[in-house]
Amino acid sequence: MNATPHAPFPDGFHWGVATAGHQVEGNNVNSDTWLLENVPGTIFAEPSGDAIDHYHRYREDIALLASLGLTSFRFSLEWARIEPEEGQFSAAALAHYRRVLEACREHGLRTVVTYHHFTSPAWLLAAGGWEDPGTPARFARYCEAVTEHLGDLVDVACTLNEPNLPALLAAIGIGGEAPEHRASVPMWAAAAERLGIEARRVAPFQFTASEAGFEVKLAAHRAAVTAIKSSRPDLMVGWTLANSDIHAAPGGEERAATVRREVNERYLLASRGDDFVGIQTYGRHVFDADGLAPAPAGAPVNQLGEEIYPQGLEATVREAAAVAGVPVLVTENGLATEDDTQRLDYLRAAVAGVSACLADGIDVRGYIAWTAFDNFEWIFGYRPKFGLVAVDRDTQTRTPKPSAHWLGDTARSNGAGIGPAALPA
């Protein structure tokens, strides 16, 4: 790709925003996540419910995103809608997603399509989920069907979203229970009872950090690549990783090195040979002798209490390029805050970091912000506000924030005027 004159960003660079089906569509009732949200002992703050009703409002939402000046839209397909029972593919669901893709085409948005963004059909969870050896073949069958029906309208394909997130969460003390300990966790016990299986076999994608989970996810990714390429050999295919900028405080060097190796490097090495790797970074994690260190005293924090650290994106992009050796696409980056001025400063600094990578010859194909709309943020519910577009969930009214207009204007100019000098000290 050639750089646009007076801008560090190459022609064809993806400027976009992202969503995930379960977080925006609403009423994804056949999914494992819907089940987990609604069992006794759930760790979800609230159920997703109607979400922001994107399933019915996608046309106006896509038109809005295009009107801002963005060039790309990353969104996910819901396996639980497309294959609500094993082996039964819904023609209606496939037709719906084809209409979504066609709407993107009509409005000039390139499509970055995620085949699996955390949620799976409930029947897959009942069959052993993401630790069952049969899951890769089931996932490949789904990917093949999807690509046969929709592949001509897909510009970039992401197989799995953040297969390494459970490992990162486990490293900072959240979840990651081994199979033999799951019966003692109320949510897993309740889900097992609902599904009629043993608690040790409850292995949802988003919470499974076991070695078996790694092997199944990697096999599923590779099987999916083959399935997708069987219909679209020319399509760029990769997976997206939750890579944090890992730092060590005094006494935490060994722990930080282990986390970096198990969470970032292991999955980047597995990305070698793919067409690209998607990098999704929100900040950094610092480890000291006791484990995860708190945010530095006086440092600004986001709504989840985490240090605001946009410089982390540049570090993880550089790491990805060095370890994986394939093109990098930033598929998520954003900030949970009610203060859009904070978000705007964060986005500016993060994009400046991407420009610094490009200036050094690193092949970065795009910057896609998380997220398009304020939406359902998994176990945290609707409280965290990552959206560049605000949503009043009582009326479902969408209101673009200044950050949305900034990113759209940046897309229109292909980043003219943005350079590494914009990075904070």
- Helices 135-150, 211-231: axis angle to 10 degrees equals 30
**What is the spatial distance between Cα 393 and Cα 381, in angstroms, rounded to a whole number?**
13
**131 catalytic per annotation:** no
- Tokens 């799976």 locate to 120
**Of the listed 37, 131, 144, 162, which one is catalytic?**
162
Which of 271, 269, 206, 207 lies closest to 239, judged by CA? Answer: 271
Dihedral angle sign, alpha carbons of residues 318, 320, 324, 327 = negative
120, 110 contact by CB (below 8 A): no
292 close to 173: Cβ distance less than 8 angstroms? yes
In the DSSP assignment, the letter for residue 286 is: E
The answer to whether 291 and 255 are in contact (CB under 8 A) is yes
Cβ neighbours for 249, distance < 8 A, ≥ 6 positions apart: 286, 287, 288, 289, 293
Q: For 370, phi and psi rounded to 5 degrees?
A: -105, 125
Checking DSSP bridges between strand 397-400 and strand 389-392, what pairing results, if any?
Answer: antiparallel
Q: Nearest-CA neighbor of 240 among 355, 353, 138, 117?
A: 117
Cα separation, 81 vs 83, in Å, equals: 6
Burial of 119 (0-12, 13-18, 19+ CB in 10 A): buried
**CA atoms of 10 and 3, how far apart (whole Å):** 4
DSSP 293: P
Residues 6+ away with beta carbon under 8 Å from 319: 243, 264, 265, 268
Catalytic residue IDs = 162
